[in-house]
Structure 1
Amino acid sequence: MIEGLYEAHLPVKNLDISMDFYKKIGLKLAWRDEDTAFFWIEENKSWVGLWEGKEYQTPYHPSLRHIAFRVTYDNMKNVLTWLKSLQIEVVPFGKRTTIEPFVRPNQGNASVYFNDPDGNSLELMCSIKVPDAYKHMTEKLSLEEWEELLTR
């Protein structure tokens, strides 16, 4: 099921300085918001997330204890069954109350979260193709909602 690394996260003190550094070493900016920026390691395959702020310097911030593994979109559709077969409990992401895999159209990916035995945050993630008309959407959608949207 797991095909490779999708993302890793690093805390940074100054996002602009760090962005300049990662551009200098040849990484391409994927997207940025107020306090985070993501750079492609392998375009559309893996990226590194930079998180700015003093609170990100503590060793317990999720950005320091998080790995996302790359899966295919087809496998994402079956990920809950696969994790359940391994007796791994899926956890909601952020303020979400559901454990269902979800799509982030503005980022071009879908994911589901779970923890390892030490409480490290793990994620299964896949890239998705997003039509131009939906690239602005910041709302998180279930896979079912996403596929329904694409059929309209």
Structure 2
Amino acid sequence: MNGTIQGLFETHINVSDYEASAAFYEKMLGLIPLHDDPARRSKFYWIGRPGEAMFGIRENYPSNLVQRQHFAFRVALEDLKTARVRLEERGVETTNFFGETEAPLSVFPFMPAVSLYFDDPDGHSVELLAMLGDAPRPELAIMPWPEWDKICGRT
């Protein structure tokens, strides 16, 4: 191969009910529908602007065994600040990296980024992640967002 990989274009997950999963991803996360293939019980979505990245759901493909997967959607920092409230208002329980529902969101200093976790209807681990504009601090452990802000001099 000549050239450099420029990013991840698509990923697909196996779901037990593609209509229920489609409703979740469209109504809870606002993904942009691209193509519905009822014959294959599949649906595809644009992530970000059309043509940048694609996400697909497929019912019982390649088998009816749905194994828990993890993936993260990148979001703007301002959107992440309100995502927890919006999701919980819609009945979706959210956590930080450590699985805590009432604790502050977690920062990954090696990137740095802050994120929020929740499960989809099949128990897949979905993460909303926002990059922070600070310098990476790989020597630091994962920490609560307020602690990161304190280290960075914002509080």
TM range (shorter): 0.5 to 0.7
- Per the normalisation by structure 2, the TM-score is 0.52
The question of 1:127 aligning with 2:131 is answered: yes
In structure 2, the residue matched to 1:71 is 75
In structure 1, the residue matched to 2:5 is 27
The offset of 1:108, in angstroms, is 2.0
The offset of 1:113, in angstroms, is 0.6
How many residues are treated as equivalent by the alignment?
100
C-alpha RMSD over aligned residues: 3.1
The question of 1:107 aligning with 2:111 is answered: yes
Aligned residue type for 2:152: L
Larger Rg computed on CA atoms: 2
Q: Secondary structure at the match of 2:121?
A: coil
In structure 1, the residue matched to 2:147 is 145
In structure 2, the residue matched to 1:55 is none
The offset of 1:92, in angstroms, is 4.8
The offset of 1:139, in angstroms, is 1.0
- Identity, % of aligned positions: 24
> Contact 1:91/1:115 (CA < 8 Å) preserved in 2?
no
2-side partners of 1:122 and 1:41: how far apart? 16
Runs of 4+ in 1 over 3 A off after TM superposition: none
The offset of 1:85, in angstroms, is 1.3
CA offsets per residue over residues 66-89 of structure 1, 9 Å max, x none? 221121112222222111111101
1-side partners of 2:81 and 2:139: how far apart? 21
Unaligned runs of at least 5 residues, structure 1:
1-20, 29-39, 47-58
Q: Secondary structure at the match of 1:130?
A: coil
The question of 1:116 aligning with 2:127 is answered: no
- Per the normalisation by structure 1, the TM-score is 0.53
2:88 to 74, 79, 84: 84
The offset of 1:97, in angstroms, is 4.7
Q: Secondary structure at the match of 1:77?
A: helix
Pair 97,113 (structure 1): closer, same or farther in 2 beyond 3 Å? closer
Aligned residue type for 2:73: F
2-side partners of 1:92 and 1:145: how far apart? 14
Pair 120,149 (structure 1): closer, same or farther in 2 beyond 3 Å? same
In structure 1, the residue matched to 2:33 is none
Q: Secondary structure at the match of 1:81?
A: helix
